[in-house]
Chains A and B, each alone.
Chain A
Amino acid sequence: MNKRLVFAILVTAQLAVPSWMIASQEHVLRNGDLYKFKTAPVDPYDIFRGRYVALSTGQRSIKLSNNNIKFDRGQEVFVIIKTDSQGFAHVVDAKTQKPKGNNYIKTTVSYQSYGDTVRFNLPLNRYYMNEEKAPQAEQLYRENSRRNKQDAYVLVRVLNGTALIEGLYVNNKPIESYF
């Protein structure tokens, strides 16, 4: 095949993949529904993507409404989310088929235990921050959290099963506003 043509295809693909990533994330941020998930930040590091605050959204398992559903490890799952009276989102059920409406997040199953309980990882586990600020963010969270009262949450946009973090809040203020 012509070398120039191969080059043109390669460049197109190399530019298309990151562009597509950007376009799909922007679509979710602009059109997604807003949810608040309680979270707890800690401070690890990613060699390629730099410093981030790891988030633990607390809830990692759900008791199924239908006992007959069997999940395999790594299987795609749609977790249904619902907002409680205090305004925080929780996972209330898990389905194998894409549900109607927009109140679900697509993720994978860690494993199924005790027959009717499914463990999963919500794809809301990283909040990237500047190298100097990430450790301070963790410190800030520790100082602001008292026993039985965790004051950190993430604002999340959800659209067609994709969940995207919009911001990390401590004491109802964006984490960036503390620095």
Chain B
Amino acid sequence: MKRNKGIAWLYNELPVLIKQGILSNESAEKVRQYYGDINPKNKAQIALAIFGVVGAVCVGLGIILLFAYNWDDLTRMQRTSLAFAPLLLSNALLCWAIFKNKQSLAIREGFSVFNMLAIGGAIALISQIYHLPGDIDSFLLTWMLLSIPLVYLMSASLPAVLYLIGITAWSAMSQINGGHALLFWPLVALVFPHYLKHLSKDPYASRPIWLSSALCLCFSVAIGISLEKVLPGLWIIVYSAFYCILYLVSKFWFDDAPATWQRPFRNYGILGTTILSYIFTYEWVWKSIGWNYYRIGGKFHAAAGIADYLVAGTLVFIAISLIVKMAKRKELFETSFSIMPILAIICYSFSGFGENEFISVWIYNLYVLYLGIVCVLSGLKEQQLGITNIGILIMGVLIFTRFLDASLGIIERGIIFIIIGACFIIANMFLSKKFERKV
């Protein structure tokens, strides 16, 4: 879309350039031939797909609600037959699309989502008719497994996003109900061939961006859920390594994205690292962690705990390899954000083995302050007002909450607020002047 905008601007400029004698008519024509037509078809297709999918979702949900009403005047057999109606309808639509080779984006995405809702609706309705107990985890798992082939059959991404949400919800319910959620990992792998296909085609198209965002969000939730937590505090290292990997993967392999929203890994990486580091400035994170508090029995499965060490080990190994690669480039901003897992490991050792949470709390307070300063400096250097403001926000939140914690007097707190405010104003004035001078 961004490319289209640029070309449209260029085409508007061409007559002016010809008039000014900067370009000849032939050169202008060559430019037009090189860039080709602006592609409005793509936009129309996307709009159609959005309406198609919204329509399918509304119809599907409407059918589920109508059936959920529980028509007790109908006999059991009649209601059972009704449960199949939307499923058969959606299968017929899919059949028509496949055999008539109807492959528009709207049809592929819309029909797949409708089928996905229909299969969920059918299973739910049968549970209702027979008063089956509400084991939502097995319901979700069956539903998702019967839906995942749609992603490949129709080459549709929305069912993939819904599937990711579904398996994440399943892993949560499974863990709550006393089971474990290790199956999440093979389940999530089922989406990867589809995801990688689109990612390798054009990583900055909206389809892989949506899938990447869904994956980042689902992983953020599922990592915490699927950890068996036999070793208290292991999540500190696992999450730190995870967000660091997201950030550095984006840095090394997807750095030429035209716009910020096209860098989901970078955005989630920075956001995750910053929020985690801030959480780590609290004492409770570092209390009662490590081998001395090893948990076993009851709801903790020792065998599933082995998977925790595997996940932690793998993530730390990948993160450290990437950090070493990053450090060689000597870029202050990137290196500052990516060293977070190393700090997490050091602090975990202090608190886990030494039972000393104060060192960890101090290290992270200083680290968050440092991140704030680095953001401000990089923003000023690159003349990016947004990054400078984020840096001030990071420092602001840290100082604000710390000084609320420290129960300082009103005068001290007043001075702190004035200093934070002054920082905002001075940095913005400085940058605005720089921008003005440039214009």
Contact = CB atoms under 8 A, between A and B. Distances in A.
B160 interface: no
A142 interface: no
B34 interface: no
A49 to B, nearest CB: 4
A146 interface: no
A74 B179 contact: yes
Contacts of A18: 83-84, 87, 122-123, 126
Given A11-B91, A73-B298, A49 B128 contact: yes
A125 B134 contact: yes
Contacts of A15: 84, 87, 91
B69 A14 contact: no
B126 A21 contact: yes
Interface residues of B, number: 45
A130 interface: yes
Contacts of B67: 50
A4 B124 contact: no
Interface string B59-89: 0000010011111100000001001100100
Contacts of B80: 22
21 contacts: A7-B98, A7-B153, A14-B115, A15-B84, A17-B142, A18-B122, A21-B123, A21-B127, A25-B132, A46-B68, A48-B139, A49-B134, A74-B299, A123-B133, A125-B133, A126-B134, A127-B131, A129-B70, A130-B69, A131-B70, A164-B130
Interface in A95-138: 108, 110-111, 121, 123-131, 133
A149 interface: no
Contacts of A46: 68, 134
Q: In this complex, which of A6, A123, A128, A165 has the most chain B Cβ atoms within 10 angstroms of its Cβ?
A: A128
A14 B87 contact: yes
A140 interface: no
A74 B177 contact: yes
B128 A4 contact: no
A130 B71 contact: yes
Interface residues of A, number: 41
Contacts of A3: 98, 153
B98 A4 contact: yes
Contact of B125 (A49, A121, A127): A49
B171 to A, nearest CB: 15
Contacts of B91: 11, 14-15
Given A7-B98, A15-B84, A25 B130 contact: yes
Question: Ordered nearest first, which 8 A-B pairs have the shortest CB separation?
Answer: A50-B68, A74-B178, A48-B124, A123-B133, A25-B130, A49-B128, A165-B131, A130-B70
Interface stretch (B144-152, B190-198, B317-325): B144-152
Q: Is the interface of B mostly helix, strand, loop or mixed?
A: helix
B352 interface: no
A17 B72 contact: no
B47 interface: no
Given A7-B98, A15-B87, A25-B130, 6 more contacts: A13-B146, A18-B123, A46-B134, A48-B139, A73-B298, A123-B132
Contact of A50 (B70, B87, B94, B149): B70
Nearest to B92: A11
A116 to B, nearest CB: 17
A6 B95 CA distance: 11
Interface string B329-359: 0000000000000000000000000000000
